[in-house]
Structure 1
Amino acid sequence: MEKKVIIFTGSTDGIGLLVMNHLVKENCEQYKFILPVRNLEKGEALHKELKVINEKVDITLMEMDLSSFESIRNFVKNFNQLNLPHLDILVNNAGVMLPSFQKTKDGFESTIGINHLGTSLLTLLLLKNFKKVSDGANNCEDQCNIVILSSEFHQREQLNFDKLLLTENDSSSFDTLREYSKSKLCNLLFSNELHNRLNLCKTTKNNIRVNSLHPGYLKTPINRDLSWFTRNIIAPIFFFGYGSKTEDTINGIVNLIENNSNHSGKYFSISKETSPSSFASNPENSKLLWEKTCELLSLNPELDL
């Protein structure tokens, strides 16, 4: 059986590492893993760990920094040079939660710059790599899946599309949770609009599924840069009250990776399909976010597949 090619961002830490361990243990022979990593040394350590779980694991490590558009473009270029027949699955798991105002290498506020702009650029540049099927085909083996990790925190915010990103002039008003929540709302809106636009493309509408999910609340390294008080006092109280079971989070993501139910354009809270906020449910907002995103990325908003 031909292996499915899966690109999985954020695989070296936290939720991504948990899911990778599960996939390698349970479904290793089914996948060829392409792991974009910012730190190759850390990636090599992960590779060794996964080899211990299953020596047959098929992994290719490739350098990529989501805070740099140049790095993302280089990753896609290098991925194309692997000459793989197609891409089957993209899991956009990587993300940051930052304690203070920072800028990406392209000059954007880093939370939205990495979580949304970097993730969106990667996704859009890879679209042509997904398997194409003829109009009318509906073979389960031909289906491709894009999984975008959002968060329940998206419900806390709305977006001003004329001022999507903070500037240095706004740095004194930076709020960690607000910017993180905005970035997760962007992820959800982008997922919805990508689904809508792919559904209009004859070459893709039958086989590319796009879904977003809230993975639950687990204690992961995403909050490692926050203040001592937040990490050691606030976070433990929060996770005690709202924490998720690790196996539920893993299963929720794996279910969308495999997507045997053919869901697309949906939002899940762990494993349960649910309704996002009213702002996220408004198709006009997803369209506006798409257009603003493409403007910031200097990309044509019309899909050319």
Structure 2
Amino acid sequence: MKNKTVIVTGANSGVGLATTVELARRGATVVMACRSAERGEAALKLARERSGSNQLELVPCDLGSLESIRAFASTVRERHPVVDVLVNNAGVVSLKRETTRDGFESQLGVNHLGHFLLTLLLLEPLKRAPQGRVVTVSSGAHRVGNIHWADPHFTRGYSMWRGYAQSKLANVLFTKGLAYRMRGTPVTANCLHPGAVGTQLGVDRDTGGGKAIMKLLSYVFITPEQGADTSVYLATSDEVSGVSGEYFYRREPAPVSRLAEDREQIERLWFWSEKQVGEQFPFP
């Protein structure tokens, strides 16, 4: 990974931090996209210590703000004309309904729409790489997900689980839509299920709600390093250099739900997402 540039979203903790450390350890220049400057600075220091690398940089990015995403992408394009890998890792689980700065339901807004916009804005530097890769962290929860077209932002009858599953299905649909559009270019797009990882996703940062549940479940969780393994594999391995549009689990292609392969759903979500973020796919 020497002389390669990688972007990791949600790089300040959990799987994102573990992914950052391993990629930096392998020689990549890693741009850490973090919402909180304070937590990002602490993670940057930790990542440097753990990886033994100084080829890391922190650039603020709030995936719940289209303005912040555009500013981040602009900064990255100026500093790094070529981007070899984009790891769309960041994710939220909202115990109660919350909205992003742009009014999107937070799970759909951050987990899908934020990464959708970020990826579109970075396609040019990804195309300049010998083999650009977009790696998106989804979840096995996509199997029970539906896109609730009548009310995708859950303005009525919010459910954390339905919202999360919808956002993870959107990750798979987005990956397949992007892979289709990037045919004939050096860019591939794949997604993955990291496994049941012990992170702070289900904890309310303001109230601390959910900590008891997370502690109970910690006994069956895998470590962030184990959860990062497939992300790192998809970002680095020559074995998948020509693979695109697949969903992986434990480094192997895995089946997806029927809806996740539905071409009508793939295209409907793509065009809907373009309207939501105000950005169209830049290539014919």
Q: Same fold (TM over 0.5)?
A: yes
Per-residue Cα deviation, 1:148-192 (whole angstroms, up to 9, x for no partner): 00000011122233432222xx1xx21111101110000110010
Q: Tell me, yes or no, if structure 1 residue 87 matches structure 2 residue 83.
A: yes
Instruction: Identify the match of residue 175 of structure 1 among 130, 146, 159.
Output: 159
Query: Secondary structure of 1:166's match?
Result: coil
Per-residue Cα deviation, 1:211-257 (whole angstroms, up to 9, x for no partner): 00010001101111199785424x4555545x346554232111101
Query: Secondary structure of 1:264's match?
Result: coil
Instruction: Identify the match of residue 283 of structure 1 among 244, 260, 263.
Output: 263
Deviation at 1:285, TM superposition (A): 1.1
Aligned mates of 2:244, 2:96 — CA distance in 1 = 35
Query: Secondary structure of 2:122's match?
Result: helix
Q: Is the 8 A contact 1:161 1:292 kept in 2?
A: no
Q: Tell me, yes or no, if structure 1 residue 220 matches structure 2 residue 199.
A: yes
Tell me the amino acid that sits aligned with residue 95 of structure 2: P
User: In percent, how many aligned pairs have the same letter?
Assistant: 32
Query: What pairs up with 1:130-145 in 2 under 5 angstroms?
Result: 130-132=126-128, 142-145=130-133
Instruction: Tell me whether 280-289 or 15-24 shows the greater mean CA deviation.
Output: 15-24
Q: Tell me, yes or no, if structure 1 residue 78 matches structure 2 residue 75.
A: yes
Change in Cα spacing, 1:162 to 1:299, as seen in structure 2 (3 Å) is: farther
Aligned mates of 1:62, 1:254 — CA distance in 2 = 21
Tell me the amino acid that sits aligned with residue 36 of structure 1: A
Change in Cα spacing, 1:129 to 1:252, as seen in structure 2 (3 Å) is: same
Aligned mates of 2:2, 2:20 — CA distance in 1 = 20
Per-residue Cα deviation, 1:102-147 (whole angstroms, up to 9, x for no partner): 11111111111111111101011111111337xxxxxxxx111100
Instruction: Identify the match of residue 170 of structure 2 among 183, 186, 200.
Output: 186
Q: Is the 8 A contact 2:204 2:210 kept in 1?
A: no
Q: Which has the higher helix share?
A: 1
Runs of at least 4 residues off by over 4 Å: 226-230, 235-241
Aligned mates of 1:13, 1:249 — CA distance in 2 = 12
Query: Secondary structure of 1:103's match?
Result: coil
Deviation at 1:270, TM superposition (A): 2.9
Instruction: Identify the match of residue 266 of structure 1 among 243, 246, 251.
Output: 246
The aligned residue for residue 19 of structure 1 is 19
Query: What pairs up with 1:241-252 in 2 under 5 angstroms?
Result: 243-244=221-222, 247-252=225-230
Aligned mates of 2:51, 2:225 — CA distance in 1 = 20
Aligned mates of 1:75, 1:247 — CA distance in 2 = 26
Query: Secondary structure of 1:211's match?
Result: strand
Aligned mates of 2:100, 2:128 — CA distance in 1 = 34
The aligned residue for residue 232 of structure 1 is 212
Change in Cα spacing, 1:60 to 1:247, as seen in structure 2 (3 Å) is: closer
Aligned mates of 2:141, 2:224 — CA distance in 1 = 19
Per-residue Cα deviation, 1:39-88 (whole angstroms, up to 9, x for no partner): 12222212222222344321121111111101111111112222x33111
Q: Tell me, yes or no, if structure 1 residue 107 matches structure 2 residue 103.
A: yes
- Structure 1: give runs of 5+ residues left out of the alignment: 134-141
Change in Cα spacing, 1:248 to 1:49, as seen in structure 2 (3 Å) is: closer
Q: Is the 8 A contact 1:8 1:90 kept in 2?
A: yes
Change in Cα spacing, 1:48 to 1:280, as seen in structure 2 (3 Å) is: same
The aligned residue for residue 7 of structure 1 is 7
Q: Tell me, yes or no, if structure 1 residue 298 matches structure 2 residue 278.
A: yes
Instruction: Identify the match of residue 36 of structure 2 among 30, 35, 39.
Output: 39
Deviation at 1:93, TM superposition (A): 0.3
Instruction: Tell me whether 264-273 or 247-256 shows the greater mean CA deviation.
Output: 247-256
Instruction: Identify the match of residue 53 of structure 1 among 50, 56, 67.
Output: 50
CA RMSD of aligned residues (A): 2.2
Deviation at 1:95, TM superposition (A): 0.6
Q: Tell me, yes or no, if structure 1 residue 158 matches structure 2 residue 142.
A: no
Aligned mates of 1:215, 1:107 — CA distance in 2 = 29
Query: Secondary structure of 1:223's match?
Result: coil
Deviation at 1:198, TM superposition (A): 0.9
- Structure 2: give runs of 5+ residues left out of the alignment: none
